[in-house]
């Protein structure tokens, strides 16, 4: 994707003379505002601070002024207790600068999906008296650009009785559906001042708190106080890598604001033909474009364009989007429309949460009864990605809060917690411990998937709660202490002669249903060769002995192929270590329709490599005389092989 920019827009050099009757100072402009009115303030880094400061300076003359806003950064001088009788704050998103006012009852929060806000404003349900916005100087055609903040600002300007525009030459001229006619504005206030910036490396706290409070003993409750620490760099990296594994070449991305959603960016640079359709972009978009990962070449709509509604970041970002034809800035009613989002093939939406319960309910806007952030665009993009062909709707969060003292995968949400994504709408949940795919899964399957990606310190407690709530069979209590996630280093893949890619990974607790399906797909001969007895069914306990393993004395890997629902297991291999002899008994099984294609040989070699790394001396195996394929693999293993025969069975010992 080539970057083409023009440094100097074709502004009307005589605009202040041409429109001098519309020009006032900040103080003169806000003098037009009357007590009791509802005033909208521009979003993000485009907050018109000169107008805001002038408005606050008039507070003695104003009472019951309602300030309406969405996500804002920087100053919010109207949001202090001492001015509560003068300015009543109502926000669609609880950002840092007003959070204390909202949580202490001096401000209001209106929960709503971003895609619904324009309709709320334009329908008259929430009438606006005044809109304080920030724009570029006009061009020779009398057009001003809304710059880095089009989102709901365009609708607010279209529906306010009085529009006061702070005209700032430092505002980038962005392209797309981002323009207003200067004749549609009422008052122009020339101001040359820096925009609010959010430099790279500054972690944005949205729905990503880790709180400080007295620890419950082994608590699996969500945090209830304000954040004090951020997830460690190791946790952020692990989440980013897990997220990147869900992004295929040619996907179109929405990446939410905050440390956790943005963690995926460093791991996307080797992807190809990614597209962007996102309510916001940050500085990270620059590295994705310059690495060649983002081209937009395979987007279903707006091909070749980075579609967004907000830019939040440093001056470098603002300069980058200035007059850049790669970017198309559009109003929220387009960017956040689930129908528009769903038109993209392979739409991947990455958002975060405060906590997720074991049934899949996602809380993203409150800490219990304390409002912390907002619904934002999560519902819009979750719904849109869910209806996209090949789409993936993802919720990502660290597994713990409060420095590891509290689990964010919880048995039940805390009273008052806001469910932004319901259990019926959740698809993927990602932590540093892995990926849980919940769409179409039963409650029992969801419970096990989420316990698996919870922090190890809390898995047993979560298991006990799930049994107590009758979400799991009582006999699952026997699994206490046996819920482990296999190591990432065993992941590998092989390409078969026909080009089919088979991926291998560690067996996980969530593989029980797929392992059962594999068993019942096998022929009686394959079952007999593997188990040395006739089997009509596999006992549940025996099945669980395959799945719930410690990955130390017992190792199991699965071979998978991609399917619409995620993946299908076509092969299983593993070994069990005899610690007295330091040898491991090895076995594997391949589904009948995949046999004879080299999968068994690959599994054996991979298991041998794992065992060698673990310091194991060699393998043993019991093989029926009739099982010639297994004998061929062992006999041609390039290891020192000893075998003895008795009762129709070969006993193998192999030295590494």
Active centre residues (catalytic):
279
Question: Rounded to whole angstroms, how far apart are CA atoms 53 and 314?
Answer: 22
Burial 546-561 (b: 16+ CB within 10 A, else e): bbbbebeebbbbbbbe
- Integer-rounded Cα radius of gyration of the chain: 29
Contact yes or no for 615/584 (Cβ under 8 A): no
- Beta-carbon count within 10 A of 386 CB: 20
Identify each DSSP E strand in 380-452 by its residue range.
392-396, 400-401, 406-407, 409-410, 419-421, 428-431, 434-437
Nearest Cα neighbor of 92 from 67, 74, 68 is 68
Contact yes or no for 157/332 (Cβ under 8 A): no
Read off the DSSP letter of residue 592: G
Contact yes or no for 261/236 (Cβ under 8 A): no
Read off the DSSP letter of residue 579: T
Contact yes or no for 46/133 (Cβ under 8 A): yes
Show Cβ contacts of residue 65 under 8 Å, excluding neighbours closer than 6 positions: 33, 35, 36, 37, 39, 86, 87, 88
Question: Residue 24 phi/psi, 5° resolution?
Answer: -135, 165
DSSP string, 3-36: ----SS--B-TTHHHHTGGGB--HHHHHTT--TT
Parallel, antiparallel or unpaired: strands 306-308 and 366-367: unpaired
Question: Rounded to whole angstroms, how far apart are CA atoms 13 and 138?
Answer: 9
Q: In Å, what is the CA distance from 418 to each residue of 53, 391, 651?
A: 33, 25, 60
DSSP string, 95-159: -GGGHHHHHTTSEEE----GGGHHHHHHTTSS-EEEEEEEEPPPBTTSEEE-TTB-TTHHHHHHH
Helix residue ranges, H only, 434-511: 443-453, 456-468
Contact yes or no for 106/81 (Cβ under 8 A): yes
Q: In Å, what is the CA distance from 142 to each residue of 135, 182, 185, 440?
A: 12, 6, 11, 53
Show Cβ contacts of residue 587 under 8 Å, excluding neighbours closer than 6 positions: 530, 573, 574, 575, 621
Q: Bridge partners of 359?
A: none
Question: Residue 556 phi/psi, 5° resolution?
Answer: -140, 140
Parallel, antiparallel or unpaired: strands 87-91 and 107-109: parallel
Nearest Cα neighbor of 351 from 455, 208, 198, 447 is 208
């Amino acid at each position: 994707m080539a970057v083409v920019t023009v440094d100097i827009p074709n502004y009307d050099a005589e605009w202040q003379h041409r429109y001098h009757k519309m020009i006032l100072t900040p103080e003169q402009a806000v003098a037009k505002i009357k007590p009791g009115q509802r005033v909208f303030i521009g979003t993000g880094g485009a907050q018109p601070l000169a107008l805001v400061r002038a408005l606050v300076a008039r507070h003695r003359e104003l009472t019951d002024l309602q300030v309406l806003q969405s996500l804002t950064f920087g100053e919010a001088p109207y949001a202090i207790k001492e001015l509560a009788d003068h300015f009543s704050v109502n926000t669609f998103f609880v950002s840092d600068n007003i959070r204390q006012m909202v949580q202490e009852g001096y401000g209001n929060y209106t929960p709503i999906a971003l895609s619904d806000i324009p309709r709320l404003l334009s329908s008259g349900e929430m009438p606006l008296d005044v809109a304080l916005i920030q724009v570029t100087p006009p061009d020779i055609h009398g057009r001003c650009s809304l710059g880095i903040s089009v989102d709901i600002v365009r609708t607010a300007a279209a529906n306010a009785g009085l529009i006061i525009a702070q005209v700032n030459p430092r505002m980038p001229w962005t392209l797309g559906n981002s323009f207003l006619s200067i004749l549609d504005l009422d008052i122009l206030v020339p101001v040359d001042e820096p925009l609010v910036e959010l430099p790279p490396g500054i972690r944005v706290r949205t729905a990503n708190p880790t709180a400080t409070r007295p620890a419950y003993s082994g608590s699996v409750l969500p945090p209830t106080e304000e954040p004090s620490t951020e997830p460690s760099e190791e946790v952020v990296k692990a989440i980013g890598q897990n997220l990147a594994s869900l992004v295929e070449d040619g996907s179109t991305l929405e990446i939410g604001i905050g440390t956790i959603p943005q963690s995926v960016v460093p791991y996307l640079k080797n992807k190809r033909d990614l597209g962007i359709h996102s309510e916001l972009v940050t500085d990270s978009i620059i590295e994705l474009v310059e690495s060649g990962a983002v081209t937009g070449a395979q987007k279903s709509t707006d091909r070749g364009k980075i579609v967004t509604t907000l830019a939040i970041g440093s001056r470098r970002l603002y300069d980058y989007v200035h007059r850049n034809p790669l970017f198309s800035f559009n109003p929220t009613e387009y960017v956040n429309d689930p129908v528009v989002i769903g038109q993209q093939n392979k739409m991947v939406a990455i958002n975060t949460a405060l906590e997720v319960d074991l049934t899949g309910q996602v809380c993203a806007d409150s800490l219990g009864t304390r409002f912390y952030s907002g619904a934002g665009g999560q519902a819009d993009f979750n719904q849109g990605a869910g209806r996209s062909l090949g789409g993936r709707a993802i919720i990502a969060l660290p597994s713990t809060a409060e420095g590891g003292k509290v689990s964010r995968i919880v048995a039940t949400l805390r009273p008052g917690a806001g469910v932004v994504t319901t259990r019926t709408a959740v698809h993927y949940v990602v932590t540093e411990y892995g990926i849980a795919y919940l769409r179409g899964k039963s409650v029992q399957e969801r419970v096990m998937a989420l316990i698996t990606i919870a922090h190890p310190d809390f898995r047993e407690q979560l298991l006990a709660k799930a049994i107590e709530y009758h979400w799991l069979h009582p006999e699952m209590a026997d699994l206490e202490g046996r819920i482990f996630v296999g190591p990432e280093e065993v992941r590998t893949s092989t390409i078969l002669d026909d080009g089919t890619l088979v991926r291998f990974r560690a067996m996980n607790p969530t593989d029980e249903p797929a392992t059962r399906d594999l068993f019942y797909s096998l022929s009686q001969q394959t079952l007999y060769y593997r188990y040395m007895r006739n089997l009509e069914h596999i006992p549940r306990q025996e099945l669980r002995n395959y799945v719930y393993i410690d990955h130390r004395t017992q190792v199991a890997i699965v071979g998978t192929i991609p399917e619409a629902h995620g993946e299908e297991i076509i092969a299983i291999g593993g070994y069990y270590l005899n610690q007295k002899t330091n040898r491991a008994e090895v076995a594997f099984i391949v589904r009948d329709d995949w046999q004879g294609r080299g999968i068994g040989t690959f599994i054996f070699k991979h298991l041998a490599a794992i065992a060698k790394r673990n310091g194991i001396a060699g393998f043993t195996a019991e093989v029926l005389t009739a099982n010639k394929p297994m004998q061929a693999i062992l006999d041609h293993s390039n290891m020192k092989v000893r075998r003895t025969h008795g009762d129709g069975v070969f006993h193998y010992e192999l030295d590494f």
